[in-house]
Amino acid sequence: MLTVEETLLHLRKAKQGDECSKEILLENNSLLIKSVIKRYKNKGIEFDDLYQLGCIGFLKAIKNFDESFGVRFSTYAVPMIVGEVKRFLRDDGAIKVSRIIKYQAKLINSYIEKYTSGGKEVPTVDEIAKALNMEKEDVVLALDSAKMPISLSEQVDDGSDKKLELIDKIAAKEDEDDMVDKILLESMIEKLPERERKVVFMMYYRDNTQSEIAKALGVSQVQVSRIENKIIEKLKSFIK
Q: 77 with 141, same domain? A: no
User: Quick check: is 157 in a domain?
Assistant: no
User: Quick check: is 40 in a domain?
Assistant: yes
User: Quick check: is 174 in a domain?
Assistant: no
**What is the structure's pLDDT at 167?**
43
User: Quick check: is 171 in a domain?
Assistant: no
pLDDT digits (tens, 9 = 90+) for 112-158: 888 888 778 878 888 888 888 888 877 877 776 554 444 434 454 55
**What is the structure's pLDDT at 58?**
92
**What is the structure's pLDDT at 177?**
52
**What is the structure's pLDDT at 92?**
56
What backbone torsions phi and psi does residue 156 show, to the nearest 5 degrees?
-130, 160
Q: 84 with 108, same domain? A: no
Please check whether residue 32 is in contact with residue 74, taking contact to mean a CB–CB distance below 8 angstroms.
Answer: yes
Q: How far apart are CA 124 and CA 33, in angstroms?
A: 35
The segments of the chain whose pLDDT lies below 70 read 91-100, 144-184, 238-240
User: Quick check: is 12 in a domain?
Assistant: yes
Q: Which domain holds residue 77?
A: 4-93
User: Quick check: is 45 in a domain?
Assistant: yes
Please check whether residue 108 is in contact with residue 146, taking contact to mean a CB–CB distance below 8 angstroms.
Answer: yes
Q: 144 with 81, same domain? A: no
Please check whether residue 185 is in contact with residue 213, taking contact to mean a CB–CB distance below 8 angstroms.
Answer: no
- Give the total number of structural domains in the chain: 3
Check which CATH number belongs to the domain holding 14 and give it. Answer: 1.20.120.1810
User: Quick check: is 76 in a domain?
Assistant: yes
**Alpha-helical runs (H) found in 117-175:** 125-132, 136-146, 166-169
Q: 86 with 103, same domain? A: no
Q: 11 with 58, same domain? A: yes
Q: Find, among 155, 158, 179, 223, the residue nearest to 75 by Cα.
A: 179
Taking each helix axis from N to C end, the angle separating 4-15 and 19-28, rounded to the nearest 10 degrees, works out to 140
Q: 30 with 78, same domain? A: yes
pLDDT digits (tens, 9 = 90+) for 96-123: 445 667 778 888 888 888 888 877 887 8
pTM over 0.95, yes/no: no
Q: Is 156 exposed, middle or buried (0-12, 13-18, 19+ CB in 10 A)?
A: middle
User: Quick check: is 109 in a domain?
Assistant: yes
The amino acid that residue 72 corresponds to is R
**What is the structure's pLDDT at 59?**
92
Q: How far apart are CA 124 and CA 149, in angstroms?
A: 10
Q: 103 with 89, same domain? A: no
Q: How far apart are CA 87 and CA 83, in angstroms?
A: 6
Assign 18 to helix, strand or coil. coil
Q: Find, among 28, 91, 82, the residue nearest to 60 by Cα.
A: 82
Check which CATH number belongs to the domain holding 200 and give it. Answer: 1.10.10
**What is the structure's pLDDT at 55?**
92
Q: 85 with 28, same domain? A: yes
Q: Find, among 152, 121, 149, 154, the residue nearest to 136 by Cα.
A: 154
Assign 158 to helix, strand or coil. coil
- Neighbour count for residue 198 (Cβ, 10 Å): 15
